[in-house]
Chains A and B, each alone.
Chain A
Amino acid sequence: MIAQQLINGLLLGAVYALFAIGYTLVFGVLDILNLAHAAIFMLAAFATWSMLGAGLPLPLAFLLAVVLAGILGVLLDRIAFAPLRRRNAGTLIPLISSIGMAIIFGAIARGIYGVDERHFTLPLLDAPPMRFGPVTFTTVEISIFALAIVLMLVLTYVMRATPLGRRIRAVAEDSVAAQLLGVNLEHTIGATFFIASALGGAAGILTALQYNSVTVDMGGQIELKGLAVIILGGMGSITGAVIGGFVLGGVETLAIAYNLSEWRDALAFGVMFLILIIRPRGIFGKRALRAA
């Protein structure tokens, strides 16, 4: 029973973590809260659904949708954030412009797909569940988990061992100094948005596959829970977002196990509220992105 709950918690946590990394990456680099992240999460899931419908194989559809999510992220930055950077608009205004983009993305999706729920027809989803001693999980669950972990490892590698990762960390640390050292600020921010949104899109596709459901509103819950995750881990910290994601996944699964499922959402936000009051930097704080 506990082992099974642990597995469920890890599954839920992996997707939370993947989503939250994108959230926290943008905050770490730009100090802004990007409320259009959940809209890209949803659009990537719809894009995958459409491509599967057009007969593309799942891996290819996944890859293309993730790239599309990344491109949407770059577009988001160019339209909603780049002009505001040039006039030092503070924190409120970029937050609002990201809401504006979220409204536009949402309206486009509603215009194209309507409000009905969509399902996938994939053999993968019908595969019988696997038993390992006391725990069972489905093929799609283990694929989702593996893919989420692989993506997180790739991101860690990119951030730690590539010139791009170094540039992103330099800009997060001090954008003026990074520019003086020859870092192209706009390119680096564009790349950050691509990576963040691609990961958010991947989280959306995996969530849609996990529940076999795509809806226009599917980002609503994770948008706010993602906030709880990045506050828990510390705004701007990738390690923090991963750990925060798994902690929230675990706690929510336990809440369900103890018949508190109606209250689990309040739990996430209650913890978030307490952390903001007691330790606003979260468990890891912003330093961790710079040191990642």
Chain B
Amino acid sequence: MNLATFYAQHSKLIDQIGLDALLALSLSICLQAGQLALAQAAFMGIAAYVSAVVSLNFHWPLLASILAAMLASTIVAGVLALPVRRLRGIFLAIATIGFGEIVRVVANNLSITGGAEGISGIPPDATTPVIYASLAVVALALYALSRTKFSLAIALVREDESAARGVGIDVGFVRFTTLAIGGAIAGLAGALYAHSQFFIAPGDFGFGRMEQILVWCVIGGVTSPLGAAIGAALLTILPEAIRFLADYRDVTDGLILLLVILFAPRGIAGLWRRGARGRA
């Protein structure tokens, strides 16, 4: 089988892997700062609606609609960061889950979002090269970020907030910035999702989606962006690979998740780090 036919058969899946990797990266940056903030699906949804509305109602070109969507999701993430700045751990998780549900209900009831029917007829111009170019840009940006001192601040805020304060790190600023970056990346994924799906509805951005994103990050390795992206890719391919299990195939998702948590607590990233140490 040559590459062209392989692509023709699996283009949907290939696009989806790129989008899922973006979503995993958007949560990963928050988790790296120790923030269990579970609003990525909502940021994605807000951006998807913004990009759909500006391209359908105002005929904006793809790039402009993506930028508008990212701006919207970043602002929302930044605004959300303020009230939740004192919340930690499970309480931050619950507050952000609640925020996500509010966004879903609002999308379900506004006329501009098409209510429960959603919006259809979005131009499908987010092609595979567009999606992967976006993923590459985000990956490069995150790599550049990881070379700065700021990434050390992020890690220290995760490991020990009071120590971070002690060495003069502005913890609030780190938390705000990582949430906003996460919002921007989730927004990019949302806009691309809208422009690769033709049709979006509030249910696409609910708690089920959020759970998936979280699962990818944990399987990949909570503190590793690359691991998170690989986790997303693996778990997006897996259901396709085991179609023969029909209704039971989700069992393997749950089993893999449990096995990773119980036996490889640092996720896939932890496995190769352990391997690298073993050789050294």
**What is A's interface to B at a CB cutoff of 8 Å?**
31-33, 35, 79-80, 83-84, 87, 89, 91-93, 95-97, 99-104, 106-108, 110-111, 114, 220, 223-224, 227-228, 231, 235, 262-263, 265-266, 269-270, 272-273, 276-277, 280
- Given A227-B94, A273-B99: A111 and B257 within 8 A (CB)? no
Given contacts A97-B258, A104-B250, 12 further A-B contacts (CB under 8 A): A87-B265, A97-B261, A101-B254, A104-B251, A104-B258, A110-B247, A224-B101, A266-B109, A276-B87, A277-B84, A277-B95, A280-B91
Q: How far is the CB of A210 from chain B (nearest CB, A)?
A: 22
Q: How far is the CB of B198 from chain A (nearest CB, A)?
A: 24
B214 x A266 contact (CB < 8 A): no
B258 x A100 contact (CB < 8 A): yes
| B31, B98, B246: the one within 8 Å of A273 (CB) | B98
B106 touches A (CB below 8 Å): yes
B94 x A276 contact (CB < 8 A): yes
| A31, A107, A263: the one within 8 Å of B251 (CB) | A107
| B98, B253, B254, B255: the one within 8 Å of A228 (CB) | B98
| A96, A107, A224, A272: the one within 8 Å of B215 (CB) | A96
| A79, A110, A114, A277: the one within 8 Å of B258 (CB) | A79
- How far apart sit A235 and B222, CA to CA, in the bound complex (Å)? 26
| B86, B101, B246: the one within 8 Å of A266 (CB) | B101
- Given A99-B214, A277-B83: A107 and B98 within 8 A (CB)? no
B209 touches A (CB below 8 Å): no
- Given A107-B247, A276-B94, A277-B95: A100 and B102 within 8 A (CB)? no
Q: How far is the CB of B109 from chain A (nearest CB, A)?
A: 5
B94 x A272 contact (CB < 8 A): yes
12 contacts between A and B (CB under 8 A): A84-B262, A92-B36, A92-B218, A93-B261, A95-B90, A104-B250, A107-B254, A223-B207, A272-B95, A276-B94, A276-B98, A277-B87
B247 x A99 contact (CB < 8 A): no
A269 x B102 contact (CB < 8 A): yes
A101 x B258 contact (CB < 8 A): yes
A93 x B218 contact (CB < 8 A): yes
B129 touches A (CB below 8 Å): no
B90 x A33 contact (CB < 8 A): yes
B71 touches A (CB below 8 Å): no
A95 x B95 contact (CB < 8 A): no
Contacts of A99 in B (CB 8 A): 211, 214-215, 257
A276 x B211 contact (CB < 8 A): no
Contacts of A106 in B (CB 8 A): 250
B138 touches A (CB below 8 Å): no
Which B-chain residue is minimally distant from A105 (CB atoms)?
B254
| A84, A110, A273: the one within 8 Å of B250 (CB) | A110
- How far apart sit A273 and B105, CA to CA, in the bound complex (Å)? 14
B244 touches A (CB below 8 Å): no
- Given A263-B109, A269-B105: A93 and B257 within 8 A (CB)? no
- Given A91-B89, A266-B106, A277-B83: A104 and B207 within 8 A (CB)? no
Q: Which 9 A-B pairs have the closest CB atoms?
A: A103-B254, A107-B250, A104-B254, A100-B257, A266-B105, A269-B98, A111-B248, A107-B251, A100-B258
| A91, A103, A273: the one within 8 Å of B90 (CB) | A91
- Given A266-B105, A269-B102: A92 and B94 within 8 A (CB)? no
B97 touches A (CB below 8 Å): yes
| B86, B247, B254: the one within 8 Å of A100 (CB) | B254
Contacts of B83 in A (CB 8 A): 273, 277
- Given A33-B93, A103-B257, A272-B98: A96 and B251 within 8 A (CB)? no
Contacts of B215 in A (CB 8 A): 96, 99-100
B55 touches A (CB below 8 Å): no
Contacts of A35 in B (CB 8 A): 211
Which B-chain residue is minimally distant from A216 (CB atoms)?
B247
| A100, A114, A276: the one within 8 Å of B261 (CB) | A100
- How far apart sit A107 and B247, CA to CA, in the bound complex (Å)? 7
B108 x A262 contact (CB < 8 A): yes
A107 x B249 contact (CB < 8 A): yes
Contact indicator per residue, chain B 144-183, by CB within 8 Å of chain A (1) or not (0)? 0000000000000000000000000000000000000000
Q: How far is the CB of B273 from chain A (nearest CB, A)?
A: 18
- How far apart sit A256 and B187, CA to CA, in the bound complex (Å)? 34
B99 x A108 contact (CB < 8 A): no
Which of B83, B93, B254, B262 has the most C-beta atoms of chain A within 10 angstroms of its own C-beta?
Answer: B254
B101 x A93 contact (CB < 8 A): no
| A103, A110, A270: the one within 8 Å of B102 (CB) | A270
Q: How far is the CB of A213 from chain B (nearest CB, A)?
A: 19
Within 8 A of A (CB), among B218-266: 218, 222, 246-251, 253-255, 257-258, 261-262, 265
Within 8 A of A (CB), among B13-60: 31, 36
Contacts of B258 in A (CB 8 A): 79-80, 97, 100-101, 104
| B101, B218, B255: the one within 8 Å of A96 (CB) | B218
Which B-chain residue is minimally distant from A83 (CB atoms)?
B262
- How far apart sit A108 and B247, CA to CA, in the bound complex (Å)? 8
Within 8 A of A (CB), among B263-277: 265
- How far apart sit A87 and B265, CA to CA, in the bound complex (Å)? 10
- How far apart sit A93 and B251, CA to CA, in the bound complex (Å)? 19
